[in-house]
Chain A
């Protein structure tokens, strides 16, 4: 481009081109193609969709996997982009993968609580998965808040059908000394969840996003762009950065009633480990979980620190249980180069031995 224009030195031309590429990336923002693994909708309820991935692919393992994601952000981080997708990897390994996508809640969903999500969404979704796959059991996989929901579900329905429970950075113990900065911010003295519910209905995604970014402001506000420029200057591919940037800026509102409970019951009162969480009058007792458990955590996770996750391993009564700790952060654990080398193969091998007839 610059050659035709004039006599600038090749060095300057190169720099200019790279600057232009960076500027273009920043202006284009969310333009990456994400969630490319073929899928079909097998069930829908309100905004939620239950997807089955690559239905035509050969299924080597008879136990399907049902993935549950958090109520904030979108679940396509599990299927970020071709060759950087946990879902794509698992389907290629012969697993029958399903994902319950909560969708984007509208104002009319502000009353939806964890009771509704666990009992009226996850419960029927498990039935649909079993019927669709003609299976006699399933693996429940929960990520982040989805992990907490999956654990609650497993505690309420510890039937023989639940073959395995896999939790990825699932917040379980919300004791103030374990929750890091987020615990401090959500303390009763500083945050009234009722006020936010009354004011906004659903808590806006911008508010949630900013709070999450402020947990690590230097990395999130500067480091993200430093990483982008570094890739450009070193002429490395920027597709993953693009996809991640799209995902981090693509939040969903937090349904009001669920937010109130998440802050009030979980963060402020730490009811889950105390056995005081009740869903439609039924106490969630984590010791009811007796199926094989793989509990995964990251040492650099600032959203769900390791001390918040690891207590589950002691709270369940499963004989077959494992705490798998990676030297990674909350999302890096799932999508980084390290994830492909460590987490994905670990998941596959762990599930393979527990997904037989």
Chain B
């Protein structure tokens, strides 16, 4: 490493080779100084206590004021200082050092930030900022619309009106397409072979019951025609019960379908 390591451009070495700046030059010097201090290797180095004090003063000077972060900032400073003076192996690359520091402290920073973001004064300030931003935007939009009108050029609002008309037309075409599909496929519930077979089966069952009821009516009419009184219904209980229940279900289904059609949900 040369003294020119923090320079901005490549320099030539005595052997004519290009030399490039060390991106971590400053960090390295700081790192070497700390290490030297710890080992007492270099002349003019300061004592660990002095280094700690210097470190604290620097952190104190850079602490974010009135943000509620000062205690955490001081805590971090003490942590870093202790780490440096503990003789623990610190990464030589400043970026690695930062990442290590971030991973160690992220949770505490997050908690502090969360605490701050919940403070009523911060919430009020944020709310005010959004309101100002929204009102400013509203005014600018209004002015821009006016300007476009005076210049007799279509404004953004005009374009969106046209786009809206296109969307409405598109929706109408969709509805026509949907109606065609309904016509071709029927409702999706009956779009498959299995469902169709089920529907036909149910229809056949209802026809059978209808025929059976017709037979009863005919039999009763015949008895009346023969001068007798209509006999009480003696058809098997379960069949009658089943018939009633099914009719009830059927009506309920029809009601539901009719309600759904009426309620605009399109649930047919």
- A is bound by B: yes
Which among A6, A19, A107, A223 is the interface contact of B23 at CB below 8 angstroms?
Answer: A19
Ranked 3 nearest A-B pairs via Cβ = A6-B18, A107-B160, A108-B163
Bound state CA distance, A196 and B124, in angstroms? 17
Question: Can you list 21 A-B pairs with a CB-CB distance of less than 8 A?
Answer: A7-B15, A45-B170, A46-B170, A106-B160, A109-B167, A124-B178, A127-B188, A131-B191, A156-B265, A190-B123, A191-B130, A196-B134, A199-B135, A199-B138, A200-B137, A201-B160, A222-B102, A223-B102, A223-B106, A226-B102, A281-B263
A323 sits at the interface (CB 8 A)? no
B157-216: which residues lie under 8 A (CB-CB) from chain A? 157, 159-161, 163-164, 167, 170-171, 174, 178, 181, 185, 188-189, 191-192, 194-195
Q: Check B181–A5 contact: CB distance below 8 A.
A: no
Which among B20, B95, B127, B138 is the interface contact of A5 at CB below 8 angstroms?
Answer: B20
Chain B hits for A106, CB < 8 A = 160, 163
> A119-B266, A136-B195, A181-B117 given. 10 additional CB < 8 A pairs?
A6-B18, A7-B15, A46-B170, A124-B174, A127-B188, A185-B123, A216-B110, A218-B109, A229-B99, A280-B263
Which among A15, A109, A135, A217 is the interface contact of B93 at CB below 8 angstroms?
Answer: A15
Given A190-B123, A229-B99, do A280 and B13 touch, yes or no (CB 8 Å)?
no
Q: Check A107–B156 contact: CB distance below 8 A.
A: yes
Bound state CA distance, A106 and B163, in angstroms? 9
Chain B hits for A200, CB < 8 A = 134, 137
Per-residue interface assignment for chain A, residues 294 to 334, with 1 indicating a CB less than 8 Å from any chain B CB and 0 otherwise: 00000000000000000000000000000000000000000
Bound state CA distance, A86 and B160, in angstroms? 36
Per-residue interface assignment for chain B, residues 39 to 71, with 1 indicating a CB less than 8 Å from any chain A CB and 0 otherwise: 000000000000000000000000000000000
B8 sits at the interface (CB 8 A)? no
A350 sits at the interface (CB 8 A)? no
Q: Check A6–B192 contact: CB distance below 8 A.
A: no
B19 sits at the interface (CB 8 A)? yes
A29 sits at the interface (CB 8 A)? no
Q: Check B99–A6 contact: CB distance below 8 A.
A: no
Q: Check A199–B137 contact: CB distance below 8 A.
A: yes
A219 sits at the interface (CB 8 A)? yes
Q: Check A131–B181 contact: CB distance below 8 A.
A: yes
Task: Select from chain A the residue with minimum beta-carbon distance to B131.
Answer: A195
Given A195-B134, A280-B265, do A16 and B185 touch, yes or no (CB 8 Å)?
no
A178-210: which residues lie under 8 A (CB-CB) from chain B? 181, 184-185, 187, 189-192, 195-196, 198-201, 207
Q: Check A280–B264 contact: CB distance below 8 A.
A: yes
Could you tell me how many residues of chain B have their Cβ less than 8 Å away from some Cβ of chain A?
A: 60
Q: Check A230–B137 contact: CB distance below 8 A.
A: no
A123 sits at the interface (CB 8 A)? yes
Bound state CA distance, A280 and B265, in angstroms? 8
Q: Check A130–B23 contact: CB distance below 8 A.
A: no
Bound state CA distance, A157 and B189, in angstroms? 13
Instruction: Please classify the interface of chain A as helix (H, G, I), strand (E, B), loop, or mixed, using the class held by over half of its residues.
Output: helix
A12 sits at the interface (CB 8 A)? yes
Task: Select from chain B the residue with minimum beta-carbon distance to A45.
Answer: B174
Task: Select from chain A the residue with minimum beta-carbon distance to B105.
Answer: A218
A8 sits at the interface (CB 8 A)? yes
B118 sits at the interface (CB 8 A)? yes
Task: Select from chain A the residue with minimum beta-carbon distance to B138.
Answer: A199
Could you tell me how many residues of chain A have their Cβ less than 8 Å away from some Cβ of chain B?
A: 60
Given A108-B164, A190-B127, A233-B96, do A161 and B20 touch, yes or no (CB 8 Å)?
no
Chain B hits for A229, CB < 8 A = 95, 99
B126 sits at the interface (CB 8 A)? yes
Bound state CA distance, A130 and B159, in angstroms? 37
A337 sits at the interface (CB 8 A)? no
Task: Select from chain B the residue with minimum beta-carbon distance to A4.
Answer: B18
Shortest beta-carbon distance from B196 to chain A in Å: 11
A42 sits at the interface (CB 8 A)? no
Chain A hits for B19, CB < 8 A = 6-8
Task: Select from chain B the residue with minimum beta-carbon distance to A279.
Answer: B265
B78 sits at the interface (CB 8 A)? no
Bound state CA distance, A148 and B167, in angstroms? 26
Per-residue interface assignment for chain B, residues 94 to 111, with 1 indicating a CB less than 8 Å from any chain A CB and 0 otherwise: 011011001100100110
B221-268: which residues lie under 8 A (CB-CB) from chain A? 263-267
B141 sits at the interface (CB 8 A)? yes
Given A107-B156, A196-B134, A199-B134, do A15 and B24 touch, yes or no (CB 8 Å)?
yes
B17 sits at the interface (CB 8 A)? yes
Q: Check B131–A192 contact: CB distance below 8 A.
A: yes
Bound state CA distance, A77 and B266, in angstroms? 31
A75-114: which residues lie under 8 A (CB-CB) from chain B? 106-110
A341 sits at the interface (CB 8 A)? no
B113 sits at the interface (CB 8 A)? yes
